[in-house]
Amino acid sequence: MILLGSTGSIGVNTLEICRRFQIPVEALVAGNNLELLQEQIDEFQPELVAIADPDRIHEIRHPRVLAGEAGILELLERTRSKTVVNALVGYAGLAPTLKAQELGRRLALANKESLVIAGAFLDRSTIFPIDSEHFGLWYLMNGRSMRRLILTASGGAFRDRPLEEIPTAGYAEALRHPNWSMGDKITIDSATMANKLFELLEARWLFDTPAIDAVIERRSIVHALIEFADGSTTAHLAEVDMKLPIAYALECPIDEPVIPPVDLLGIGPIAFEAIDEKRYPLWSLREHLLSHPRLGVVLNAANEAAMKRFQSGEWDFGTMTRAILKTYEHFSHTQPQSLEEVFAVDKEVRRYVDGR
């Protein structure tokens, strides 16, 4: 298989699965954590490697190292594996997704932005979701008629913070996730609830229904639920461990536990809470976004551009959130009809957020 984003949390877990099930790794792609990448190269001996920065190729001990977006696309063209795991973060993951589909590869997708930005233009039949929530939905589906899909959210760093203190919070505060340690972007997106909006759009495209909602489940034990037409509801419970969806995405022969079973007597009470728009103002976009899913490109571009200014310290948390809402409203009638229009809208939205 080919792994894009090998040094992130999804990438590291993917290589654990490869190690356990003896899956050959044909190519590795990573960003800036070159020390870890070199360790992965030494162990898995990929035929090709790609990194983000062309100026750092000399730091990698491997005879075939490519760089930049063009290098990643060339890597895909030069490889033969049928499965591509795309665990790149943000807009950078879209071009490799499009290339993988152009080449007829099976896509194990953790890069949610690909579906958020361009879901209307992807062949969803070749995509297997690695997100725990969408894996949970897939796991629960059994051909019965469904009424509603429900995702769960942890609530992020500010789920218990007094409302009046949230707008002035800084970047470091928003990274203090109560349940886990993951990459900066997904952690900030959890605090704003942008991550769950993205996941609603993912589910909208993957399962072809707008009947999707989300609730907060603080323990992160319940990952997804399905309400069936007969009135029953089924939930998917699992430990917070991405190796399970990855193992299924890589079509591993699963005849033993991939992760430890849930200790039903030890997890304590499980409760569900509504997502409060006063605490998470971006959640007010949910219904409009599900009714107009091609606006995902607007939400993603506004979110990424505003987050840069939040990270730099130029904006506080409240200013970032207001900028995303204002930008979404400004572009709310945008409906791109082609990938070319998607790319153009993305650039226009980023310029708008930056005031240029």
pLDDT digits (tens, 9 = 90+) for 42-91: 999 999 999 999 999 999 999 999 999 999 999 999 999 999 999 998 88
Boundaries of domain holding 97: 2-130
Residue 142 confidence (pLDDT): 82
Residue 331 confidence (pLDDT): 98
**Residue 34 domain flag:** yes
Render 232-267 in DSSP notation, one character per residue.
-EEEEE--S-THHHHHHHTT----S-SSPPP-TTTS
Count of CB atoms within 10 A of residue 16's CB? 14
Tell me: pLDDT of 301 over 80. Answer: yes
**Residue 204 domain flag:** no
**Residue 107 domain flag:** yes
Tell me: pLDDT of 277 over 90. Answer: yes
pTM over 0.85? The answer is yes
Question: Residue 208 — pLDDT band, cuts 50, 70, 90?
Answer: very high
**Residue 273 domain flag:** no
**Residue 41 domain flag:** yes
Tell me: pLDDT of 181 over 80. Answer: no
**Residue 97 domain flag:** yes
Cβ(250)–Cβ(21) below 8 Å:
yes
Tell me: pLDDT of 105 over 90. Answer: yes
Counted domains in the chain: 1
**Residue 220 domain flag:** no
**Residue 246 domain flag:** no
The DSSP element (H or E) to which 113 belongs, if any, is helix 112-118
Question: Residue 122 — pLDDT band, cuts 50, 70, 90?
Answer: very high
* CATH number, residue 61: 3.40.50.720
Tell me: pLDDT of 309 over 80. Answer: yes
Coil, helix or strand at residue 207: helix
